Amino acid sequence: MLATVNKWSCSRDPSEVNCKPVAKEVQYDLCVITSAYEWIKLKPRLLAEEDGQLRSIYVAAAESDAVTQNTPKVFNEKHKTFESFKKLHLSAYKIMFNVGNWKMSSCTCPSFLKNYKCKHVYGLAVHNKLALFPETVKTVPIGQKRKPGRPKGTTKALLKM
């Protein structure tokens, strides 16, 4: 046991040549980036409250009505039953978008609560010109899920002979 802990400790030592750095920010994988691309393509209606570095942005959940001026109130309301809480909180999501460091943003959607990353945060980062969509995400037809494995990338139309 002690040997294992010692091994972990050494492998994280920054002065070591083969140091495994501790993850300080989330890494967005192609699957989430593809979902973000498809979500932004649909031009979702956003409701934003400016507050310096941190912006509160409200978006409607899939298959829910678009956000309205009343949406922010839902997040501050006190609910008497769990059903009313669930109904309102699952109809829209609140993204706390950090303009200075978008990877430190948060969202109330189930994907973010589980994995600390979601299509909303990445989509908004691209929307605010803080991140880019790689070319490979644009090659998957809308509505189709990305297949597991490494993407093929774009093929060259003309090959030099």
Q: Which residues bind Zn ion (CB under 5 A)?
A: 107, 109, 112, 118, 120
What would the two tokens of residue 34 be? 């593809």
Indicate the residue among 105 and 137 with the shorter CB distance to Zn ion: 105
Phi, psi at residue 72, to the nearest 5°? Answer: -55, -30
Indicate the residue among 61 and 151 with the shorter CB distance to Zn ion: 61
Nearest distance from C-beta of residue 63 to Zn ion, angstroms: 15
Residue-wise over 12-24: b if at least 16 C-beta within 10 A, else e?
A: eeeeeeeeeeeee
**Of 78, 75, 70, nearest to 47 (Cα)?**
70
| DSSP secondary structure, 8-19, as one string | HHHHT-TTSTT-
Q: DSSP assignment, residue 36?
A: H
CA atoms of 82 and 98, how far apart (whole Å)? 30
Nearest distance from C-beta of residue 59 to Zn ion, angstroms: 8
Indicate the residue among 107 and 125 with the shorter CB distance to Zn ion: 107
Nearest distance from C-beta of residue 36 to Zn ion, angstroms: 9
Indicate the residue among 107 and 137 with the shorter CB distance to Zn ion: 107
Nearest distance from C-beta of residue 90 to Zn ion, angstroms: 12
Longest alpha-carbon distance in the chain: 72
Indicate the residue among 20 and 86 with the shorter CB distance to Zn ion: 86
Nearest distance from C-beta of residue 23 to Zn ion, angstroms: 20
For residue 103, give the 3-state DSSP assignment.
Answer: helix
